[in-house]
Amino acid sequence: MKKTVLLSALSVLFITINSAAQNSLPCDKQATPETINLYNNLKKSLDKGVMLGHQDDLAYGVNWKYEDGRSDIKDVTGDYPAVMGFELGRLELDHAVNLDSVPFDKMRLFIKDAYQHGSVITISWHLNNPLTGQTAWDPSPKETVASILPGGEKNALYNSWLDKVAAFFLSLKGNNGEYIPIIFRPFHELNGSWFWWGGKNCTPDEIKQLYQYTEKYLRDTKGVHNLLYAFNTDVFHTADEYLERFPGDDFTDVLGFDTYQRNGNEQFMQSANNMLATLDSIAFAHNKIPALTEFGYGSLPDSTWWTNVLLPVLKTHTTAYALAWRNAGKKKDGSTEFYMPYKGQASEKDFIAFCNDEKILLQKDAAKEKLYQKH
């Protein structure tokens, strides 16, 4: 009980300090005005609640694709998510569509729409293994990360990939020609070993170097200044484990982790609570923005999961946003993949109650905060 009280007090102190703080700069000291505003307003909005997000929300859902203005979240609640997630995988290969078959030209339109309506945009990158030519999920050989650092045999190739990523970020502009701010989270889940950049597939020092090199290349070589950088692990147990591969305060703005429920409710709640409590303390110590960078419960078999499991967890902690993974819909094996409810899904009514809680913020709530403006 004492630990819970202490962490709650820490969260309150974190919010109070950030709300009262003078405007400060993100890790990119040359960031655009809108990006600086987003950075400061995300900190100041921590006392407002948790902005709810969804991957590929505007692109497709269960039983539909590319219907103008449609969203599974809007179908259920009447509003869009406050955070929109997108993915760059295959951009490095000059493909017209990403690894989830979303056309990059459509993605630009979705991002602009989300920005114009006040939502936050976050982008991940499941880049191919540059050493083997296979997917991001090809973790061998262990020399991959070293091969793309300066002096490595694939450094020039990696730079060419970063050139394409930079061009994409610089193509994202609002109605007045301003660059749209993006929360970029490269090398996510980097404590797990399923990606070539993660876990036992490289040393902690190597992934730190890669993270720093990537950011400096985008920022200093390519002049990309509309990014906030997110560092996120998968499931972790201690602060030391979380920080083992942390690239440093000068290279991060957002701290988060990814977690999916694969066991019972009680076990998930205990694990999520422990990680969020640890994240609270780390974010406070490092003056960063805490976030649940990815979460989900596949197929949502518990009709009251939103209010009985997730909401109590989120209410106990200080979290800027929580991004649910995508509603991929029907798959080749006949199954249906989704992490947010859709019309007629068993947890639909409970999800509405969840979104109606004052702690949960959707797009209209985010728009009221005017996150891209200086306050």
CA proximity to 321, closest of 350, 267, 283 = 283
Active site residue 189: yes
Bond preceding residue 141 cis, omega within 30 of 0: yes
Q: Are 64 and 99 in contact (CB under 8 A)?
A: no
Give the three-class secondary structure for 300: coil
Count CA atoms within 13 Å of residue 92 on its CB side. 21
Q: How far apart are CA 308 and CA 276, in angstroms?
A: 17
The distance in angstroms from the start CA to the end CA of the chain is 38
Give residue 109's Cα distance to chain centre.
19
Residue 178 annotated as catalytic:
no
Q: Indicate the SS3 state at residue 1.
A: coil
Written as six digits, the tokens of 49 are 């609640």
Q: What residues form DSSP beta bridges with 229?
A: 184
Q: Across the strands, what pairs with 255?
A: 231, 290
CA dist., res. 63 & res. 336, Å (int):
9
Active-site residue (options: 87, 206, 215, 294): 294
Among the listed residues 34, 189, 206, 369, the single catalytic one is: 189
What is the helix (H) or strand (E) element at residue 363, kind and residue range? Answer: helix 363-369
Annotated active-site positions, please? Answer: 189, 294
